[in-house]
Amino acid sequence: MTYEGMWSTLAPIGRHDRTGGYRRYTWSEPHRECQLWFQEEAAKRGLTLESDGNGNVVAWWRPDPDRTEGGVVTGSHLDSVPDGGAFDGPLGVVSALAALDLLRDNGVQPARPLGIAVFAEEEGARFGVACLGSRLLTGALPAEQARELRDADGLSLPDAMERAGASPALGPSLGLLHAPSAFVELHIEQGRGLVDLEAPVGVADSIWAHGRWRFEFTGEANHAGTTRMADRHDPMLTYAMTALAANKRARLTRTRATFGHVEVEPNATNAVPSTVRAWLDGRAHDQESLRALVEEVRRLAGDRAHRDGTGLEVEAESLTPGVDFDADLRRLLVTRLGGAPVLPTQAGHDAGILAAAGVPAAMLFVRNPTGVSHSPAEHAEAADCVAGVRALADVLTELLAP
């Protein structure tokens, strides 16, 4: 199967007719189709599939079947955010398969196994915790906590897995990776760093600290016409002011703050709302700046709630410390790629979760001409994608050498 062939079979899966974006939520029908697609690609190449009870899958090329430990793992994820782009995740999986093909075409004889991983629920779009599969695998998220996660319909993670025909066995499963000597994730760049540097491929040096906080603003539902403006306890106003304050605070402190998901009750045009639930995505270069950002947003929201006569509760849903990728591995990638540029990222990735768990991990980024991501407008030029496959194959050749 050619590189273009892989893209064309994957392209229609989970694409929404109206928006053109992808809705590949974990354990949904499109997710099952993506899994089948991966299984077929692995079977065509004679790879051995292994999976864990968290929904993570690895396809192994083991030239020496007796040697299973200490291999090199690459790969990414196939799930998407609501109306996501085609490349965030799939570029790393398709490129991994294409790089493996290139290694074989080049007659490379790996001295150790090569695994291509697909991690489950990287985006956290269904159960609210980003990198859910890799967090469970490393033990960063306890199974008891994951068992309590629910989707928007109130279905628990184990129930959703069972409905999709999987057998949940949530919990640590680092053994799936067989003590890897290196993990390298290729990913579309989600900003304009490589555009500015005029480079098709770059190497990541670090991931910012980031997390999600649920803000629940409560007020008093009432009639939109008959309730005098002065008599209202409108949580929408408290929320709106909080969103503006978060934006201003992030600009002032060179951090990032986004409210991108809101639930309103009763959600009627002619009623003052009773509740607004809004999720803050916060990111900062270091954990102290992130803590300060969220504390300040919480304080400003509380002050405004006091003035509006509304209630406020804030709960942290996930927190991921910043991570520096393995310095030796990063140097190896840069040298092998003839001095490729090195850049940080504000996006979360499974590679970051593995790095935090002590796996030597690194990332390659492929240029994104507009820098847009988590949107159907996300894009990478074909020539840059090919450059990414070549770069990955080059790096893997060195990492798989005796």
DSSP calls for 370-386? S---SSTT----HHHHH
Question: Which residue among 41, 52, 88, 296 contacts Mn ion (CB under 5 A)?
Answer: 88
In the chain, helix, strand, coil percent, each to 5? 35, 25, 40
348 lines the binding site for ligand GLV (CB under 6 A): yes
For Cα atoms 286, 314, 356, give the angle at the middle one, nearest 5 degrees.
35
* Contacted entry of ligand GLV, Mn ion, none for residue 326, CB cut-off 5 to 8 Å set by kind: none
34 lines the binding site for ligand GLV (CB under 6 A): no
Closer Cβ to ligand GLV, 128 or 348, answer by number? 348
Minimum distance, C-beta of residue 130 to ligand GLV, in the bound complex (Å) = 5
Question: 266: cis peptide before it, omega within 30°?
Answer: yes
Question: Which residue among 347, 354, 363, 392 contacts ligand GLV (CB under 6 A)?
Answer: 347
Q: Let me know: does 375 contact 21? Beta carbons within 8 Å.
A: yes
Interaction mask 106-145, ligand GLV, x per CB under 6 A: -----------------x------x---------------
Reported as type and span, the H/E element at residue 117 is: strand 114-119
Bridge partners for 277 per DSSP: 216, 263
**Placement of tokens 């990541």 in the chain:** 204
Minimum distance, C-beta of residue 82 to ligand GLV, in the bound complex (Å) = 12
Residue type, 334: V
Minimum distance, C-beta of residue 78 to ligand GLV, in the bound complex (Å) = 13
Interaction mask 132-171, Mn ion, x per CB under 5 A: ----------------------------------------
Closer Cβ to ligand GLV, 92 or 202, answer by number? 92
* Contacted entry of ligand GLV, Mn ion, none for residue 89, CB cut-off 5 to 8 Å set by kind: Mn ion
185 lines the binding site for Mn ion (CB under 5 A): no
* 3-state DSSP assignment of residue 126: coil
In 3D space, the residue among 282, 361, 350 whose CA is nearest the CA of residue 318 turns out to be 282
Minimum distance, C-beta of residue 187 to Mn ion, in the bound complex (Å) = 6
Residues that bind ligand GLV (CB under 6 A): 123, 130, 347-348
